Structure 1
Amino acid sequence: MLDKAGIISEYGRVLEIPFDSDRKLMSVVHTYKDGYRVITKGAADVLIDNCLLTEEMRAEILKKNDEMAKEALRVIAVAYRNTDYIPDNPEYNLTFAGLIGTADPIRPEVTNAIKTCIKAGIKTVMVTGDHLTTACAIAKELGILRSNDKTLTGTQLAAMPQSRLEASIFSYSVFARITPKDKLRIVKAFQSRGAVVAMTGDGVNDAPALKASDIGCAMGINGTEVAKGVADIVLADDNFSTIVEAIRQGRGIYENIRKSIHFLLASNIGEILTVFLAIFFGWQTPLLAIQLLWVNLVTDSLPAVALGIDNFDEDIMLHKPKNPKSGLFSDGLGVTIFLEGCIIGILSLIAFNIGTIKYDVTTGRTMAFTVLSLSQLFHSFNVRSTKSIFCSETLKNKYLIISFIICSALQIFVVSVPYVAKVFKVNPLSHVQWLVVLILCLVLVMVSELQKKFSRTKEVSLIPIFNRQKPTKL
């Protein structure tokens, strides 16, 4: 075994020319016997131009370099020369020493993360300084480079106008032999096409591209402080799959926020319409202030919280990305909320009129109050998912079930216990009246089920049409 410390002590380093992404070389000068030895390493296709080689030898080296690169090896060429003095420019007239291939094993979870990105409509691109052959071999193994995808080298990119790059940017999946300036051009090209760009990097040279991207992701373990400083996110484990998990979490949180807002606005529109329409038609007040306060504090609050902490849908990473310019009420959510609120309000007024006409005003208010409360509780299950309320997923949110049981029990308690009913100015309901209330509450569930079924049927009928069109990457 070689004694590294002894070798360094015997052959001291007197000069170092650090690696440069433009030169793609790195050189050192060490003391050696009675003179000095220059050792240079770097890209094989660049280094051979500085070596004393015949055309046959150059061709053989490049052939071997490609063979190693196809095996997904990062290939480094090494050359040297002996000299009697310390040269100002040591990187010439070198003697070629050989090729070194290093393997960077792919983490098992990364391949699955790439597959998840593809399903989620996220285009993953490899931007690297490695040789094109090496980059393609790794990209194919990961699933980044597929049959119809193109590749681009730094030389080709330098000769390409920005307008042409922007027009064809989505057709490329691998960029090799790329400089820091090239990375910035690539990021801006994707952004010019309306894409939201997340860029990963760890070096000082990555800082401009990290800053220009919509989401800069720096490596927490191997990343430089400069990269971490300009990044929006720092990956503590330097793992690409962490980014994919963050996307899943973000999508889930966004959907839960939409669910809570959907439920609250539909419920409140129902309450407003119940009172407004009664005033408009000159009827007696269907709900008293204390009853409205109860609905807002109890019936609305617990289900909204439960929806906000709902489990994420298993197929959430199968949805296409949201347009960043689309609002919270896009995809018809605003219209849906308004119509559902109208139904809740109308059902409450129907209960009020049935109770008032057949019995008395207090009974009518009791029935309206109960329908308004319970219909909202049933509606929380409608809001939870675009799937049927009768599927097995309905039972997955235990907090929503608990909130439904608690709120329903409290509502029955308020109406059925004489002392409490007196406070809320309601009457205990008979079996027939409870049956009417339950039927009216289930009307909203049935309407929602029909709407979901119609939406699913419409979505399925559109699939053959989309399949006949040229697929888009956006």
Structure 2
Amino acid sequence: HLDNPVVSDMKNMVFQGTTVSSGKGNAIVTSTGMRTQFGRIAELVQESEKDMTPLQLDLDDLGKKLGVLIIILCMVVFGAEVLKDVSDSIIEELMAAIALAVSAIPEGLPAVVTITLAIGVQKMVQRNAIVRRLPSVETLGSTTVICSDKTGTITKNEMTATTLFTNGMTISVSGAGYNREGEFTRASERFDVLADPHARKLLEIGQLCSNSVLQEDVTGASDWTIVGDPTEGSLLVLAEKAGLPYEETHQEYSEVTEISFDSARKRMTSVNRDSKGNIYAFSKGAPEVLLPLCTHIFEDGTVRPLDEQEKESIIQINAGLAEDALRVLAFAYRPLEREIPGWEPEAVEKNLIFVGLVGMIDPPRPEVERAINLCKMAGIRPIMITGDHKLTARAIALKVGLVEREGEVLSGVDLDRMSEEEFREAVLRCDVFARVAPEHKLRIVETLKDCDEVVAMTGDGVNDAPAVKTADVGIAMGIRGADVTKEASDVILTDDNFATIVSAIEKGREVYSNIRKFVRFLLAANFDEVFLIFVVIMLNLPLPITAIQILWLNLATDGFPALALGVDPPEGGVMKRPPRKPGAKMMDRGMASFILVAGFVAFMASFTIFMVNLTEYGGFIPGITGPMVDFENDISVVTGMAWSQVLAHSRTTVFASVVTFELLFVWNCRDEYHPIWRTTMRGSKALMAAVTVSIVLTLFTIYLPFMWPLFKTVPLNPGDWILIILTSIPALLIPPHWLFGHKHETIPN
């Protein structure tokens, strides 16, 4: 009797949603509906809720702050206008406030964020990760913990024979999966197994006691695929590695009958007749089951009696292999003098001759160890959560570098014995959990989230669905995943590979890095306009730029470079930095400093342009050195130009100045860790194209006559452009690495 057993330990139970493959029997119904294991899982899925992603929280927070700022500025401007000049109409004063509001809102930001995330989704598909929820692209980049299953994700889900024990010898086998590469060694020296009668007999029994078939892998991923049981498949591959073809063995031994394997017997026997007419019974099974049926041993080329002391030695060898996470099978045979009526198992499977043991393992994927090392370098904590035995989990974790030799492994039973505080400490301390139930997985994820971790959780079976749905990023397996788990997930791995998760996290970090690039670009550009409009209104000057020009700047001129930043090559070392802290805002001190400084420098450039034009062409500054006039009336000034022409020329120059400054400044937004002179231009074709398009569009608004009435622009002369370029050069000199506080960092570029 087990207290609170996990499902895998309930050997005497049948469950809703499973299939009876053979046999018949009677059962007592203990639970129905939502009280069944299947119903409990469905209830857990319904109870799980998805929180907002870090990016959604960031943008929501940014939107609220911008909204408050805009309302305050508009109220200040509108109030100041009303108080200082009652002659203006309420409409004009309202227009000034609206112009300020338009300048403060980054209209292109939502579209650019969405497009950048969508492009990130496309690139993740190329990395074998299908993203079902768009914001999950960035959430992957914020991941601090990966909770992964073992079978098929960290391992290949391909049983591989690695060790043979026969005739007192331990023989190692190299290679992994269903590939023919591999060699047999004994004491580090190559060993010819076919020349050894004991090893050859072992391989032949493995081929004969099998209902599985090797087929050529048309995908090219392996040499073969297995049709049938993976364990039997590993024995067939083992023989092929030794150069013993399946067909050759079956031509020599034709099948007479078979005593099938079942979970109660834990063994199978194949009765075969050789080419000389002799009949043999070949058996394979669990060592603890098959060894008691053996009375003799095939050793040193002869068959001799097997005593209890030797059996105990074999059991110890079996235990040693099991501690290395190997699944061990024993092999035996028996010559039969004649056919046995009915071929009853009790009559056939007795007085067997022990031949040896084979140890098999589901090997780790070769790329997983590097992926785990990359996780640790990137500040991400990988955790293995599996239903397998603790010894198996520990051995695999050691092989892939997940834990050290003394690393702790906790089982579901261990977790059930803990108090809430002990459980929390265990989850924060332990990196390998074995023999866990669905409730344990869900509780582990919830505890990690309560500790402010951003959790990615993998799953394939129905029982994984609650934890997958609860995690910040739920990851389902595309090959062997259940439909309900895929439906609960945010990301589906088409190759079921742990390394793909790490690759997707890297792409998520790149996407977030690029989002930061265009956010600081767009907000700095908008703050330039906000500063400019706010100051000129406070100085009782006419608006330096019209609302339609501001909209054009924010959508057309700024939009294309911002979008190009969204697909820009990543900053160097995205996986050599820790994930951003949970709760950390995109608008941190460094970002705010950069935006304010850049916005102020841009404001100084455009304000200088505006003042120079007013004084040069107008002869005085309305409202400061002279009376404020109605620029719609053709009032002659010193130059003979109408005031409306002076204002149109000044506004056009400011418009061109803002565009020029921003198109130079965008190059300074590509890397927050290095100044522009240390930033490579490699991979910036999209940005070059975007800047070119923005320049062309700006020139259209200035030099195409049919655009003049709409944008209130006039043609500029070469002298204007020289002044514009000179005042825009500071855009390249703003040091992002200083403002972001990275001046001492040495992240590779």
Please tell me the residue identity of whatever aligns with 2:326.
R
* Equivalent in the alignment of 1:471: none
Q: Is the 8 A contact 2:564 2:687 kept in 1?
A: yes
Shift of 1:290: 4.8
Find the aligned partners of 1:308 and 1:97 in 2 and give their Cα distance: 64
CA distance in 2 between partners of 1:410 and 1:262 (Å): 23
Q: Higher mean Cα deviation, 126-135 or 414-423?
A: 414-423
Q: 5 Å matches for 1:146-161?
A: 146=404, 149-161=407-419
The alpha-carbon deviation at position 410 of structure 1 amounts to: 4.3
Partner of 1:393, secondary structure, is coil
Separation in 1, partners of 2:312, 2:740: 64
Match of 1:378 in 2: 664
Equivalent of 1:426, from 706, 714, 725?
714
Asked whether 1:61 is paired with 2:315, we answer yes
In the alignment, structure 2 segments of 5+ residues that lack a partner are: 1-206, 212-252, 272-282, 294-306, 333-343, 346-353, 619-645
Q: Is the 8 A contact 1:421 1:428 kept in 2?
A: no
Within 5 Å, which residues of 2 pair with 1:377-416? 377-386=663-672, 387-412=674-699, 414-415=701-702
Per-residue Cα deviation, 1:392-434 (whole angstroms, up to 9, x for no partner): 4244221111222332344356556788778743352344x43
Mapping of 1:108-119 within 5 angstroms? 108-119=366-377
Determine if contact 1:418/1:428 at 8 Å carries over to the other structure: no
CA contact (8 A) 1:69 1:75 kept: no
After superposition, the Cα gap between the structure-2 partners of 1:97 and 1:330, relative to the gap in structure 1 and judged at 3 Å, is farther
Question: Counterpart amino acid of 1:66?
Answer: G
Q: Deviations over 1:212-247 (max 9, x none)?
A: 433332322233445444444332211112212221
Q: Structure 1, residues 116-136: CA drift from partner, whole Å, max 9, x if none?
A: 211221111122344444433
Structure 1 unaligned regions, length at least 5: 18-25, 87-95, 462-474
Is residue 2:208 matched to residue 1:2?
A: yes
Does the aligned pair in 1 maintain the 2:653–2:716 contact within 8 Å? no
| Structure 1 residue identity aligned to 2:577 | H
Corresponding residue of 1:365: 651
Residues 293, 254 of structure 1: alpha-carbon distance in 2 compared, 3 angstrom cutoff:
same
In structure 2, the CA distance between the partners of 1:226 and 1:41, relative to structure 1 (3 Å rule), is farther
CA contact (8 A) 1:65 1:99 kept: no
Q: CA deviation at 1:356?
A: 1.9
Shift of 1:371: 1.5
Give the number of equivalent residue pairs. 430
1:69 offset after TM fit, Å? 3.6
Deviation at 1:179, TM superposition (A): 4.4
1:440 aligns to what? 727
The C-alpha deviation readout for 1:44-103, integer Å capped at 9, x for no partner, is 8xx99x99x999977863564234543xx43246799xxxx99xxxxxxxxx99865212
| TM-fit CA distance, 1:348 | 1.0
- Of 347-356 and 290-299, more deviation after overlay is shown by 290-299
Q: Give the distance between the partners of 2:468 and 2:712, measured in 1 at CA.
A: 60
Indicate whether 1:135 and 2:393 are aligned.
Answer: yes
1:210 and 1:78, CA in 2 relative to 1: closer, same or farther beyond 3 A? Answer: farther
Q: Distance in 2 between matches of 1:171 and 1:200?
A: 20
| Partner SS, residue 298 of structure 1 | helix
Matched, 1:121 2:379: yes
Amino acid paired to 2:532: T
* CA 1:399–1:158: 2 relative to 1, 3 Å: same
Offset, 1:30: 8.4
- 1:253 Cα deviation (Å)? 2.3
Following superposition, the deviation at residue 320 of structure 1 comes to 1.9
Percent identical among aligned pairs is 32
Cα offset, 1:143, TM superposition: 1.9
The answer to whether residue 592 in structure 2 is matched with residue 307 in structure 1 is: no
In 2, are the aligned partners of 1:414 and 1:424 still within 8 Å (CA)?
Answer: no
**2:433 is aligned with what amino acid?**
F
Letter in 2 for 1:452: H
The CA distance in 1 between the partners of 2:476 and 2:309, in whole Å, is: 43
The amino acid of 1:403's aligned partner reads: A
Distance 2:320 2:562 in 1: 60
Q: Distance in 2 between matches of 1:388 and 1:167?
A: 43
Q: Residue 308 of structure 1: CA displacement?
A: 2.1
Q: How does 1:149-298 map to 2 (within 5 A)?
A: 149-298=407-556
Q: Which has the higher contact order (CA 8 A, sep 6+)?
A: 2
- 1:441-463, CA deviations, whole angstroms, 9 ceiling, x for partnerless residues? 122332x22x42354555549xx
Does the aligned pair in 2 maintain the 1:286–1:365 contact within 8 Å? yes
User: Normalising by structure 2, what TM-score?
Assistant: 0.49
- The answer for the alignment partner of 2:327 in structure 1 is 75
The structural deviation recorded for 1:206 is 3.4
Indicate if the aligned counterparts of 2:459 and 2:468 stay in contact, CA closer than 8 A.
yes
With over 3 angstroms needed to count, the CA separation of the structure-2 counterparts of 1:161 and 1:294, relative to structure 1, is closer
* 2:208 counterpart letter in structure 1: L
Cα distance in 2 for partners of 1:220, 1:127 equals 19
Deviates more, 1:142-151 or 1:101-110: 142-151
| Map of 1:468 onto structure 2 | none
Question: Do the aligned partners of 1:27 and 1:41 also contact (CA within 8 Å) in 2?
Answer: no
Paired AA for residue 236 in structure 1: T
In 2, distance between residues paired with 1:9 and 1:226? 45
Distance 1:204 1:341, change over 3 A: same
Query: Letter of the aligned partner of 1:2 in structure 2?
Result: L
Deviations 1:320-357 (A, max 9, x none): 22344334424543454344333323321111112222
Would the aligned equivalents of 2:398 and 2:405 in 1 still touch at CA under 8 Å?
no
Shift of 1:164: 1.1
What is the alpha-carbon distance in structure 1 between the residues aligned to residue 576 and residue 376 of structure 2? Answer: 9
Q: Is the 8 A contact 1:41 1:77 kept in 2?
A: yes
77 and 202 in structure 1: CA distance in 2 versus 1, 3 angstrom threshold: farther
Distance 1:410 1:234, change over 3 A: closer
- The verdict on how the C-alpha distance between 1:76 and 1:415 changes in structure 2, with shifts beyond 3 A counting, is same
Asked if the contact 1:416–1:429 (Cα under 8 Å) also holds between the matched residues in 2, the reply is no
Cα distance between partner residues in 2 of 1:225 and 1:457: 46
Q: 1:166 to 1:122 in 2, by over 3 A?
A: same
CA distance in 1, matches of 2:265, 2:727: 83
Secondary structure of the residue aligned to 1:396 is coil
Q: Corresponding residue for 2:737?
A: 452
8 Å CA contact 1:135–1:174 kept in 2: the answer is yes
CA distance in 1, matches of 2:488, 2:532: 53
Deviation, 1:7, is: 11
Cα contact 2:702–2:708 (8 A) shared by 1: yes
In structure 1, the residue corresponding to 2:208 is in which secondary structure?
coil
Task: Give the alignment's Cα RMSD to 1 decimal.
Answer: 4.3
Point out the structure with max Rg over C-alpha. 2
Looking at structure 1, the residues matched to 320 and 444 of structure 2 have their Cα atoms a distance apart, in angstroms, of 26
Cα gap change, 1:210 to 1:367, in 2 (>3 Å): closer
1:100, 1:119 → 2: CA distance?
38
On the 8 A contact 1:371/1:437 being kept in 2, the answer is yes
Q: 1:460 to 1:293 in 2, by over 3 A?
A: closer
After superposition, the Cα gap between the structure-2 partners of 1:162 and 1:311, relative to the gap in structure 1 and judged at 3 Å, is same
Change in Cα spacing, 1:58 to 1:358, as seen in structure 2 (3 Å) is farther
Opposite residue 531 of structure 2, the aligned amino acid is L
Q: Which position in structure 2 is the counterpart of 1:337?
A: 595
Q: Distance in 2 between matches of 1:131 and 1:173?
A: 15
Aligned-partner Cα distance in 2 for 1:40–1:192: 46
